[in-house]
Structure 1
Amino acid sequence: MNLFSTYNHTHVIVFNWNKFSETMFLEKIILSKKDKMFFLSLSKQRKIEFLGIRYALRYIGIKMNVFYNEKRNPFLFPLGGKNISFSHSFEKIAIAISSYHIGIDIEKSRKDNKIIKIKKKFIRDDESIFINQNYEKDYLHIIWGIKESLYKLKGGIFYSFLNHYKVSPFCIKNDSCISCWIITNYYSKKFYAFYRKIEEYYLVYIIDLKKK
């Protein structure tokens, strides 16, 4: 597992799910009867994700369980001032645990250039003007990850990647922290996104340092 720490209140963990087996995880964690019943209904990859998330929590010393609300957003119980977000893409799973609200996304750069084919669905006109065409795929993946992370950060209540989220100009060669916004007719708030490239994957996460 790769463990990235942001400040002293946030942990970001990335690992390849196909390098772990069910047996390896089950030797290290104990599932409740309810968790065991749910676990048996999952696909092979979902089982590893299910176990991996719980192992990651114990890996950093958090003894809590993961549950989902009515909108399928994950939360930790018993409530102890910690928030969780996770994402998966092909072989990798990314998990973020923080004292603050947090959203995370990981995406693999695909050879079919799908991200370029769908860019009109999430790239605003004022974002397209600062995208360096020599690094278009990098910019598109980072912007997508930012908007996906903002979407998760606010529990999916703002659904339009074109109208509800905006990314400020940035340079992928120099910046590791990017300004971004949630915008609606009655609400506007600035956030900062962190990103890094891990092999052919793009990892993005956003921490809401202001709880209100």
Structure 2
Amino acid sequence: MIIVFKWKHFLETMFLKKLFLSYEEKVFFLSLSEKRKREFLGIRYALKYIGIKMNIFYNEKRKPFLLPEGKHISLSHSFEKIAIAISSYHIGIDIEKLRKDKKIVKIKKKFIRDDESIFIPPNYEEDYLHIIWGIKESLYKLEGGIFYSFLDHYKVSPFCLKKDSCISCWIIKNSYSKRFSAFYRKIEEYYLVYVIDI
């Protein structure tokens, strides 16, 4: 299940009144920046809104997990949208807004490998860059934040922009590589990307 939720118009106090947070969650909440507080509350409100009654916790690498166990969760935020993926399988999700400042083009050398740059058409560069970034961010989350270099540890196979396409992608470790399947869709001015480990 994948949820995209717009939380800009909800007020922090309204969220707090409708949520029942444990003592540990309240302490954690108070330690967050204002932006992170909004994200924290937005995610929990979205889960409550759709009737999910599981608690979110984080491991030492800040990877979220659910209790009671049995399902996997991944979270993402971009401007006024949050995305939540819940699955029986390990999953990573990312949502990114197509920005007018072309920031993604300016930082592409930090995450685009040479073998990826050759299949990116110039006319659709920003779209491809957002999708590739989303795939690598999703792989990073799926793996639990262990491999931080988007150049060295993650690879995306060539793909074309088309609806409902499955994109092969890889986590590259020292001793071996593992293949995953990535999916994306465009929602308004956002790209939603997720990777699942079946």
Tell me if both proteins adopt one fold, taking TM over 0.5 as the criterion. yes
Kept in 2: contact 1:14–1:92 (CA 8 A): yes
Q: Which amino acid aligns with 1:146?
A: I
Kept in 2: contact 1:116–1:137 (CA 8 A): yes
Classify the secondary structure of the residue corresponding to 1:152: helix
1:46 maps onto 2:36 in alignment:
yes
Q: What is the match of residue 185 of structure 2?
A: 196
| Distance (whole Å) between structure 2 residues aligned to residue 17 and residue 48 of structure 1 | 8
Q: Deviations along 1:67-123, whole A, 9 cap, x unmatched?
A: 111111111123x21111111111111111111111111111111111111111111
Q: CA deviation at 1:27?
A: 4.7
Kept in 1: contact 2:164–2:184 (CA 8 A): no
Equivalenced residue count is: 198
Identity between Structure 1 and Structure 2 (%): 80
Q: What is the match of residue 134 of structure 1?
A: 123
Q: CA deviation at 1:28?
A: 3.6
RMSD: 1.8
Which sits farther off after the overlay, 36-45 or 143-152?
36-45
Pairing of 1:98-113 with structure 2 (within 5 A): 98-113=87-102
Pairing of 1:123-202 with structure 2 (within 5 A): 123-174=112-163, 176-202=165-191
Which sits farther off after the overlay, 181-190 or 135-144?
181-190
| Distance (whole Å) between structure 2 residues aligned to residue 99 and residue 20 of structure 1 | 30
| Distance (whole Å) between structure 2 residues aligned to residue 191 and residue 20 of structure 1 | 36
| Distance (whole Å) between structure 2 residues aligned to residue 165 and residue 119 of structure 1 | 14
Compared CA separation, residues 183 and 40, structure 1 to 2 (3 A):
closer
Classify the secondary structure of the residue corresponding to 1:19: coil
Pairing of 1:55-134 with structure 2 (within 5 A): 55-78=45-68, 80-134=69-123
Q: Which runs of 5+ in 1 are unaligned?
A: 1-10
Classify the secondary structure of the residue corresponding to 1:185: coil
Q: Which runs of 5+ in 2 are unaligned?
A: none
Q: CA deviation at 1:175?
A: 5.0
Alignment TM-score, normalising by the size of structure 2: 0.91
| Distance (whole Å) between structure 1 residues aligned to residue 33 and residue 151 of structure 2 | 33
Kept in 2: contact 1:17–1:45 (CA 8 A): no
Q: Deviations along 1:28-64, whole A, 9 cap, x unmatched?
A: 4322233233334444432332122222333343322
Compared CA separation, residues 164 and 37, structure 1 to 2 (3 A):
closer
Alignment TM-score, normalising by the size of structure 1: 0.85
Compared CA separation, residues 111 and 13, structure 1 to 2 (3 A):
same
Kept in 2: contact 1:76–1:84 (CA 8 A): yes
| Distance (whole Å) between structure 1 residues aligned to residue 52 and residue 64 of structure 2 | 15
Which sits farther off after the overlay, 60-69 or 156-165?
60-69
Compared CA separation, residues 174 and 12, structure 1 to 2 (3 A):
closer
Q: Which amino acid aligns with 1:56?
A: A
| Distance (whole Å) between structure 1 residues aligned to residue 86 and residue 10 of structure 2 | 21
| Distance (whole Å) between structure 2 residues aligned to residue 59 and residue 176 of structure 1 | 30
Q: Which amino acid aligns with 2:52?
A: I
